[in-house]
Protein backbone atom coordinates (compact mmCIF):
# COMPACT_ATOMS: atom_id res chain seq x y z
CA UNK A 1 0.00 0.00 0.00
CA UNK A 2 2.89 2.38 0.82
CA UNK A 3 4.50 1.54 -2.53
CA UNK A 4 1.33 2.44 -4.36
CA UNK A 5 1.24 5.88 -2.76
CA UNK A 6 4.73 6.72 -4.03
CA UNK A 7 3.97 5.61 -7.57
CA UNK A 8 1.89 7.72 -10.00
CA UNK A 9 -1.45 5.95 -10.68
CA UNK A 10 -1.13 6.04 -14.48
CA UNK A 11 2.16 4.11 -14.28
CA UNK A 12 0.48 1.44 -12.12
CA UNK A 13 -2.32 1.01 -14.64
CA UNK A 14 0.18 0.84 -17.51
CA UNK A 15 2.15 -1.90 -15.75
CA UNK A 16 -1.09 -3.69 -14.95
CA UNK A 17 -2.23 -3.66 -18.59
CA UNK A 18 1.24 -4.69 -19.81
CA UNK A 19 1.35 -7.63 -17.38
CA UNK A 20 -2.22 -8.56 -18.15
CA UNK A 21 -1.41 -8.84 -21.87
CA UNK A 22 1.58 -11.05 -21.07
CA UNK A 23 -0.62 -13.25 -18.90
CA UNK A 24 -3.23 -13.44 -21.62
CA UNK A 25 -0.63 -14.56 -24.19
CA UNK A 26 0.82 -17.19 -21.83
CA UNK A 27 -2.66 -18.39 -20.89
CA UNK A 28 -3.76 -18.58 -24.56
CA UNK A 29 -0.72 -20.70 -25.38
CA UNK A 30 -1.53 -23.07 -22.53
CA UNK A 31 -5.17 -23.14 -23.62
CA UNK A 32 -4.26 -24.19 -27.14
CA UNK A 33 -2.07 -27.00 -25.78
CA UNK A 34 -4.99 -28.00 -23.54
CA UNK A 35 -7.42 -28.15 -26.46
CA UNK A 36 -5.14 -30.29 -28.59
CA UNK A 37 -3.94 -32.65 -25.90
CA UNK A 38 -6.50 -33.05 -23.12
CA UNK A 39 -9.74 -32.75 -25.10
CA UNK A 40 -8.58 -35.14 -27.79
CA UNK A 41 -7.42 -37.65 -25.19
CA UNK A 42 -10.57 -37.41 -23.09
CA UNK A 43 -13.26 -37.21 -25.78
CA UNK A 44 -13.44 -40.90 -26.71
CA UNK A 45 -13.24 -42.48 -23.23
CA UNK A 46 -15.83 -40.03 -21.86
CA UNK A 47 -18.19 -40.68 -24.77
CA UNK A 48 -17.80 -44.41 -24.14
CA UNK A 49 -18.62 -43.96 -20.45
CA UNK A 50 -21.58 -41.71 -21.30
CA UNK A 51 -23.03 -44.31 -23.68
CA UNK A 52 -22.37 -47.40 -21.56
CA UNK A 53 -21.82 -46.55 -17.88
CA UNK A 54 -23.73 -43.39 -17.04
CA UNK A 55 -23.18 -43.64 -13.25
CA UNK A 56 -19.44 -43.99 -13.73
CA UNK A 57 -19.56 -41.07 -16.17
CA UNK A 58 -21.26 -38.96 -13.48
CA UNK A 59 -18.49 -39.55 -10.95
CA UNK A 60 -15.77 -39.08 -13.60
CA UNK A 61 -17.36 -35.75 -14.62
CA UNK A 62 -17.39 -34.53 -11.03
CA UNK A 63 -13.79 -35.58 -10.36
CA UNK A 64 -12.55 -33.99 -13.60
CA UNK A 65 -14.20 -30.63 -13.03
CA UNK A 66 -13.07 -30.43 -9.38
CA UNK A 67 -9.50 -31.40 -10.32
CA UNK A 68 -9.41 -28.82 -13.10
CA UNK A 69 -10.85 -26.21 -10.73
CA UNK A 70 -8.04 -26.68 -8.23
CA UNK A 71 -5.32 -26.97 -10.92
CA UNK A 72 -6.32 -23.92 -12.92
CA UNK A 73 -6.70 -21.78 -9.82
CA UNK A 74 -3.14 -22.64 -8.85
CA UNK A 75 -1.96 -21.88 -12.38
CA UNK A 76 -3.71 -18.50 -12.69
CA UNK A 77 -2.63 -17.48 -9.16
CA UNK A 78 0.95 -18.45 -10.05
CA UNK A 79 0.83 -16.38 -13.25
CA UNK A 80 -0.69 -13.37 -11.46
CA UNK A 81 1.94 -13.57 -8.71
CA UNK A 82 4.82 -13.92 -11.15
CA UNK A 83 3.64 -10.93 -13.15
CA UNK A 84 2.91 -8.81 -10.07
CA UNK A 85 -0.80 -8.34 -10.83
CA UNK A 86 -1.70 -9.49 -7.34
CA UNK A 87 -0.12 -6.33 -5.90
CA UNK A 88 -3.08 -4.38 -7.25
CA UNK A 89 -5.63 -6.44 -5.36
Partner 1 sequence: MEFTIAGVVVNPLYLVGIGFLVGVLGGFFGVGGGFLAGPLMFLAGVPMHFVVGTDLAHMTGKSIVAARRHRMLGHVDVRLGLVMVAGTIIGVETGAQIVERLKRIGQVDLVIGWTYVGILLIIGSFMAFESLRAVRVIRTESLSAREVVGFTGLSRRVHGFRLPPMLAFPNSGIKSVSLWSVLLVGFISGLLAGALGVGGGFIRMPLLVYVLGLPTHVAIGTDLFEIVISAAFGTLTHAIKGNVDVLMALVMHTGAALGAQIGAVSTRFFAGPRIRLLFSVLPFVGAIFVTVRLLSGTGIVHF
Interacting residues with partner 1 (CB under 8 A):
13, 16, 20, 23-24, 27, 31, 34-35, 38-39, 42-43, 46-47, 50, 54-55, 57-62, 64-66, 68-70, 72-73, 75-77, 80, 85-86, 88-89
The nearest distance, CB 58 to partner 1, in angstroms, is 4
Quote the CA–CA distance of 1 and 56 in Å, as a whole number. Answer: 50
CB of 7 to partner 1, least distance (A): 14
Q: Which of 83, 86, 89 is nearest to 18 (CA)?
A: 83
Least Å from the CB of residue 3 to partner 1: 14
Task: Convert 59-87 to b/e letters by CB count within 10 Å (16 or more is b).
Answer: ebeeeeeeeeeeeeeeeeeebbeebebee
Pick 6 or 51: Cβ nearer partner 1: 51
Amino acid sequence: MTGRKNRPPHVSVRILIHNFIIELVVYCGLLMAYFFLVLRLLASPLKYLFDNHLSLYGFAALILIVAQGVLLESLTSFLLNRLGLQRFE
